[in-house]
Amino acid sequence: MTQTNKADVVIFLITILAATGWIFTKMATGGMPALLFLGLRFTCAGLVVALFCIRQLSQLSGKQILMATQTGLVQAIGLAIWVTAISLSEQLSEGAFITSTLVIMVPFVGRLFFGTSIQREVLIALPLACIGLALLALDTSWQFEPAQVLFLISAVFFALHINLLSHFGKGVPALPMTSIQLLMVGVVGLLGFTLFETLTVSISADIWWWLAASVLIATSLRYFMQTWGFKYSNPTYAAVIMILEPVWTSLMSVAVLGESLTSRNILGCLVILAALLITRYQQLLALFSRQTGDKTEAYCQTEQNV
C-alpha cells in the first residue's frame, strides 16, 4: 500500500472519529454544562497536541501567534454555538447535515471577506441545499427549532474558519497551529462557562469518561491523524471522503442514541448529501477518471502478459 493510499484510509477513519465526537459531546453535555465541557475538552486536547510541538511553539513569531490566535477565536465561537446546539438538540442526525452545509458556505464567505471566486458547482448546489434544509428542519408550523438555527449559525463560523486557515495556515506549521487553535477554543469555552453557566449538580463518573473519550479520541487523535493524513493524501480523494462525516453521525445517532428519522427527514438528508456531492463534482470526475485509467492500464498489462 502506497503512502497516498494509507493517507486515504486515515482520512476515512477521521470521518468516523469526527462522528464519534458528536455522540461523545451529546452524552457528556447531558450531565455537564455545554461550555464547561467545551473548555475542558479543548484545553486538554490542546495541551496534548502541544507536547508534540513544544520546540516549534517556542520558535513562532508574534505575527504567527496572532494569526493562529485569530483563526482559533473564530473556530472557538463556532464550536461554542455548535456545542450549545448539541445540548439542546433532540436530533443529531439533522444537526450533522445542517452543519455539513458549511461546505457550500465556504466559497460565499470567501467571496465576502477575501474576494475569492465561486465555482459553478456551488451555485448549482445552493438551491438543493436550501431545499434539503427545508425538508430537514421545518416542521408543520414552518419554524426552525432553536438548535437547528444554532447549527446553521455555527456552520457560517466554520466556513469562515476554513477561509482563515487557507489564508493564515500556510504561514504557521501545522502542529503549533492546531495546538494554539485548540487552546483558544478551550479558553473561550471556560470563559463562557464562567460568565453564562453555573454548575448546579455534581458531575457523575460516566460523564468524565465521555469527556476523556472526547479529548483523547474525538479531538487529540483525530487532529493528529488529520495533520498526517492531509499531508500525504490526494486532495481529490480527501475532499470526497470527508463528505461521509454526517452520514456516520446519523447512523451512530440511530444506533447509540435511538434516534428515528421520518421519511421527510431522510429525504432532506439525501438532498443535502446530493448538494455536497455536486460541490465535489470535479473531484468525483477526477476520481472516476483515475480509477478508469488504472483499470485500463491493468487490462493492457494483462493483455501484454497473455
pLDDT tens readout for residues 176-227? 998 999 999 999 999 999 999 988 778 999 999 999 999 999 988 887 788 7
Q: What gap in Å lies between CA 8 and CA 279, rounded to an integer?
A: 20
pLDDT tens figures, 16-38: 999 999 999 999 999 999 999 99
Residue 303: per-residue pLDDT: 36
pLDDT tens figures, 218-273: 988 887 788 777 767 776 677 778 888 999 999 999 999 998 888 888 899 999 99
Burial 48-62 (b: 16+ CB within 10 A, else e): bbbebbeebbeebee
Distances 12 to 103, 141, 230, 244 between C-alpha atoms, Å: 17, 38, 11, 8
Please state the domain extents for the chain.
3-305
pLDDT grade for 97, boundaries at 50, 70 and 90: very high
Identity of the amino acid at 133: L
Q: What gap in Å lies between CA 244 and CA 230, rounded to an integer?
A: 16
Residue 199: per-residue pLDDT: 84
pLDDT value at 96 more than 90: yes
Residue 139: per-residue pLDDT: 61
Residue 238: per-residue pLDDT: 74
137 and 144 Cβ atoms separated by less than 8 Å:
yes
Q: What gap in Å lies between CA 46 and CA 61, rounded to an integer?
A: 19
Residue 143: per-residue pLDDT: 65
Q: What gap in Å lies between CA 115 and CA 33, rounded to an integer?
A: 39
Q: What is the mean pLDDT of residues 82-110?
A: 92
35 and 265 Cβ atoms separated by less than 8 Å:
no
pLDDT value at 281 more than 60: yes
265 and 134 Cβ atoms separated by less than 8 Å:
no
Residue 280: per-residue pLDDT: 84
Q: Give Dmax over CA atoms of the chain in angstroms.
A: 76
Residue 145: per-residue pLDDT: 83
Residue 250: per-residue pLDDT: 92
Nearest 5°: CA angle at 105, between 103 and 110?
110
pLDDT grade for 292, boundaries at 50, 70 and 90: low
Q: Which three cell numbers stand for residue 81?
A: 454555538
Q: What is the mean pLDDT of residues 77-93?
A: 94
pLDDT grade for 142, boundaries at 50, 70 and 90: low
Residue 105: per-residue pLDDT: 92
Question: Full-prediction pTM beyond 0.85?
Answer: yes
Residue 296: per-residue pLDDT: 41
pLDDT value at 101 more than 50: yes
DSSP 218: I
Q: What gap in Å lies between CA 41 and CA 36, rounded to an integer?
A: 8
Q: What is the mean pLDDT of residues 151-174?
A: 88
Residue 299: per-residue pLDDT: 33
Q: What gap in Å lies between CA 246 and CA 226, rounded to an integer?
A: 17
Residue 251: per-residue pLDDT: 92
Q: What gap in Å lies between CA 230 and CA 164, rounded to an integer?
A: 17
Q: Which three cell numbers stand for residue 209?
A: 469518561
Q: Which three cell numbers stand for residue 49?
A: 497536541
145 and 98 Cβ atoms separated by less than 8 Å:
no
